[in-house]
């Protein structure tokens, strides 16, 4: 794995992730091409990778990338739902999914009470606009869970 000098800026973190992803791609391409040269399929080979450390680091980098993307994607989902609510405040499904995203972020953020309150408000707005909708049961269930977290 390539190691960059000590740098805590967001730019350096992104560079490290890109290098890590390049490593992952390189390992996967090399593994695939070595099987092709030998005329074997990966399943038929049954041998461990030639360099387990490099492969382990590649899988680690992928895991970190997916983990970070989850948080970024969740924030982006919240932003999109908030825009939808601004455009159409009575869009019940948006309120439910915004509540669900806020609820998820609250759980991932070490029980963030502010986010739980916002999620609770969104679940209740779903029920206001669509009390017998397909997500009403889940909204009520999530309201109970969130209220218990706020006690």
Instruction: Give the residue among 30, 29, 26, 5 at the shortest CA–CA distance from 15.
Output: 5
Higher pLDDT, 141 or 9: 141
Give residue 7's pLDDT.
Answer: 43
Would you list the domain boundaries of the chain? 1-67, 88-151
Inter-residue contact 80 to 97 (CB < 8 Å): no
pLDDT for res 6: 40
Per-residue pLDDT at 144:
98
pLDDT score at 58: 87
CATH topology of domain 88-151: Methane Monooxygenase Hydroxylase; Chain G, domain 1 (1.20.58)
Q: Residues 85, 94: contact at Cβ < 8 Å?
A: yes
Query: What is the per-residue pLDDT across 75-134, written as a single tens digit (0 to 9) for each?
Result: 999 999 999 999 999 999 999 999 999 999 999 887 799 999 999 999 999 999 999 999
Give the span between the Cα atoms of 67 and 20, in whole angstroms: 14
**pLDDT at position 37 over 90:** no
Residue, of 120 and 19, whose pLDDT is higher: 120
């Amino acid at each position: 794995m390539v190691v960059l000098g000590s740098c805590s800026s967001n730019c350096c973190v992104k560079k490290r992730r890109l290098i890590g992803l390049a490593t992952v791609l390189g390992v996967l391409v090399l593994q695939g091409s070595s099987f092709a040269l030998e005329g074997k399929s990966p399943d038929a080979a049954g041998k461990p990778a030639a360099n387990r450390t490099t492969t382990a680091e590649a899988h680690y980098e992928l895991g970190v990338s997916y983990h970070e993307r989850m948080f970024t994607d969740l924030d982006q989902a919240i932003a999109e739902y908030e825009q939808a609510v601004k455009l159409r405040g009575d869009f019940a499904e948006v309120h439910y999914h915004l509540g669900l995203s806020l609820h998820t972020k609250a759980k991932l953020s070490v029980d963030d009470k502010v986010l739980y309150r916002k999620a609770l408000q969104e679940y209740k707005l779903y029920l206001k606009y669509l009390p017998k909708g397909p997500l009403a049961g889940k909204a009520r269930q999530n309201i109970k869970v969130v209220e218990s977290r706020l006690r």
